[in-house]
Amino acid sequence: MQRRATLALLGLPAIARAQPARPIRLVVPFPPGGSNDVIARPLADKLAARLGQAVVVENRPGAGGSIGAGQVAQSAADGTTLMVTSSSFAASAVIQRTPYDAQTSFEAVATLARAPFLVLTHLDFPPRDIPSLIAYARARPGAVDFGSSGPGGINHFVTEYFALRAGLRLSHVPYRGMPPAVTDLIAGHIQLLITTMASASGAIRDGRVRLLAYTAPGAPDSNPTAPLVRSFGVDYEASIWWGLLAPRGLPPAVSANLQAAIRDALGEPDIARVYEAEGARPSFAGAADFQAELAAEIARFRDVAARANIRAE
């Protein structure tokens, strides 16, 4: 037993040495203040303490995240350049022309957090639950308007996916971001919105919109109670995830070191509190599981894009 313990201790420096001592750039390919940024910053502090390296968050916004992602894809695969991204990365991979391939230019490292979407309606919209929403929309093909943050955005995809699963034809009203979509839902200019808690928490808290259901389990305990869409017999589930990607070719020892540090960091109560404000929970999955989920998500969104005619504009 003593010999095994000694060998284990001797093995630790080998993993640590696999990670260069230079500061780690944690690239967020969106502006400061967004959900990716909120997920990245507390994680950076925890990783710095565990890895013994400075971890610096760098916002590299533009072109729906593809500018920052392109910079990461072209960086050295040594663990000093990483990217925090979300499900929107899979959505943009389907409809955008990018200088990288979403699946072959990156190594999945780990998932960080996960949150359900919320099905919201205008207060005066007659349906009061998912079955009545489906019945109402089926009886009026194309008459129900839903909003999104823009053509090809993640909530555009998950709403069209809901429509396909429920056998509905809805009308898409794109906005420049989620705040104006929430404003128009409150005003009744659109009837339906599927978005995150972070985007609509104020409207929900103040009772200015109606929460019909969650699109997946896993909402934080502080969220209001609501059923799951699938509890009404609709074969539909969608959630938003946040994860860590690295340039393709990341050495396995470096990946293992990062995964261990991430898993440990996500267990910290203060990270859970920060993520809860985004309507999310820490949710660790290792490299293999994350890579498989990313591939499945891209395949699903590619099918939705083809069937719902989703294109970038």
Q: How does residue 63 score in pLDDT terms, banded at 50, 70 and 90? A: confident
> Which range has highest mean pLDDT (58-67, 155-164, 303-312)?
155-164
Give me the pLDDT at residue 12, please.
38
Domains 2-115+239-307 and 119-235 share a fold: yes
pLDDT digits (tens, 9 = 90+) for 4-59: 433 333 343 433 444 557 899 999 999 999 899 999 999 999 999 999 999 999 99
Q: What is the CATH number of domain 119-235?
A: 3.40.190.10
What residue spans define the domains of the chain? Answer: 2-115+239-307, 119-235
Mean pLDDT, the chain, rounded, equals: 92
Query: Hey, what amino acid is at 207?
Result: G
**Architecture of the domain whose range is 2-115+239-307:** 3-Layer(aba) Sandwich (3.40)
Classified as helix, coil or strand, 148 is strand
Give me the pLDDT at residue 64, please.
84
Q: How far is CA 109 from CA 10, 37, 288, in A?
A: 25, 18, 8
Segment 158-166 mean pLDDT: 98
Both structure tokens of 198: 């972070």
Based on the number of CB atoms within 10 Å of its own CB, is 88 exposed (0-12), middle (13-18) or buried (19 or more)?
Answer: buried
Give me the pLDDT at residue 277, please.
86
In this predicted structure, the answer to whether residue 142 has a pLDDT above a threshold of 60 is yes
